[in-house]
Amino acid sequence: MKRLIIYSILSVATLCSYGQSNFNKTEIKSTMKRVADWQIANPATGAEHDDLNWTYAALYMGMIDWAELTEKEDGDSQYYNWLLKIGRRNAWQMGKYMYHADFIAVGQVFLEMHQKYNDRNMMLPTLARTEFVINHPSASTLELDYRNMASLERWSWCDALFMAPPVYAKMYMLTNDWKYIEFMNREYKATYDYLFDKEEELFYRDHRYFKQKEANGKKVFWGRGNGWVLGGLCEILQTLPRNNMHRQFYQDLFITLSNRIVQLQGKDGYWHASLLDPDSYPSPETSATGFIVYALAYGVNEGLLDKTVMMPAIEKGWKALVKAVEKDGKLGYVQPIGADPKKVTREMTEVYGAGAFLLAGNQIYKMVP
C-alpha cells in the first residue's frame, strides 16, 4: 500500500549492491519490533503528547511503515489495528490550531489509512482543514515569535517542512486538484528562500538563529531540525511520481541537503545536536540520526544518491542507532522537545525518536535481499 502511488521495482542488481552483507535482516526486524512494542506499551503523556499532536504524528509515520511490513510478511495486523483505534477514537480529526503545521501532521497517516481501507471518513477532516487553509491563506510573517501565535500560521520554522507539506502533496495525488500542489509549492519555497543557508547548504531552525554562533564560532544548525527537513522531503518524493512536473525542486533539494549532511556525521556514527559544533554536544542524538539515516537509505534505495558515498554513513548510522536501544526496546539519547542544540543523555526518550527509528529501519530492511 505504502504510499499514494506505485513505484517501479528496483532491479535485482541494485538490491544486491554495496553493503548488503553488513546488515542482518532478522536482527533489523527484531530490533524494530522491540522499539515499536516498547513505545506502544509506554505511551508518552503531558504537554504536546495528545493523540493528534506532532510528537505522536512522527511516531505514527514510522509505525505505519512497520505495520505494512509486518502485515505483508507475517500476517500481523496488530499495528494497523493500533492506528485504527487511535484514528477512530479521535474521529480522524486534526489538532486544535487551524493553521499550525504541527496540528496537521497526523493527516499524513490518516490519508494513508484512507488509501488502505478506502474509508472516506478517514480523509474528510484532513480535506476540510486543507481546504480552509488554502481558501483563507494566512498573510502572517515568517519571523517566528512564540509570543505571537500568528507567526506560527505559516511554515516559519524548519520542522514545519516535515509536518505539513507532505499532507498537501498527498491531497494533490488523491484529488488531482492543482490547488494543493500550488499551495505547497508556494509556501515551501517561501520557507526555503528564508531559512536555507546557501553557503552552508543547511537549514536554520528559524530566523532567531541567523546571527547566532556556536562556541567554536560556527553558525547554529540544529541536527534534528535538518533531519526534519530531510524526512519531509522523503515523504514528498514518495508521493509525487518521478515524472511529475513539480517534483524536480524537491528532488534537487533532497540531493543537495543529503550530500551536505553526510559530511557532518560524527566518528561515533551519530549526527549530533549541533551539526557544525559537535564537540560542544558530544553525546549521541538518535532523533536527528534516525531521520537522517531514513533519508540517506531512502535516497540510495531509490537511486537518487550515490551508494558508494552513502552506504558507509548509513551502516555507521544504523549501528549507532541500534546501540541506543535498550534490551526492552526503549530508544535512548533522544533530544527532548526543543528548537536548538541541547545536551542529551541515554535516559532521554521521545515518541518521535521511535518514529524516526522505525522509518530508518524500514528503509534499511529494504536494502537486504
In tens, the pLDDT along 183-202 reads 999 999 999 999 999 999 99
pLDDT interval class at 121 (50, 70, 90)? very high
Is 323 within a domain?
yes
Is 162 within a domain?
yes
Select which of 159, 206, 277, 340 is catalytic. 159
Which residues is 203 bridged to in the sheet? Answer: 196
Average pLDDT, the chain: 94
CA 106 vs. chain centroid, Å, equals 12
Is 13 within a domain?
no
Is 20 within a domain?
no
Cα(255)–Cα(270) distance, integer angstroms = 20
Count of domains for the chain? 1
Alpha-helical (H) ranges within 23-149 are 25-41, 54-74, 78-89, 106-117, 124-135
pLDDT, mean of residues 88-96: 97
Is 316 within a domain?
yes
Reduced DSSP (H G I as helix, E B as strand, rest coil) percent helix, strand, coil of the chain, to 5: 60, 5, 40
Cα(16)–Cα(35) distance, integer angstroms = 27
177 as an active site residue: the answer is: no
Is 7 within a domain?
no
Residue 251 · residue 240 · CB < 8 Å: no
Instruction: Count CB neighbours of 343 within 10 A.
Output: 12
The residue with cell 506560527 is 152
DSSP 47: T
pLDDT interval class at 13 (50, 70, 90)? very low
Buried b (16+ CB within 10 A) or exposed e, 134-166: beeeeebebebeeeeeebbbbbbbbbbbbbbbb
Is 165 within a domain?
yes
Q: What is the CATH number of the domain that holds 128?
A: 1.50.10.10
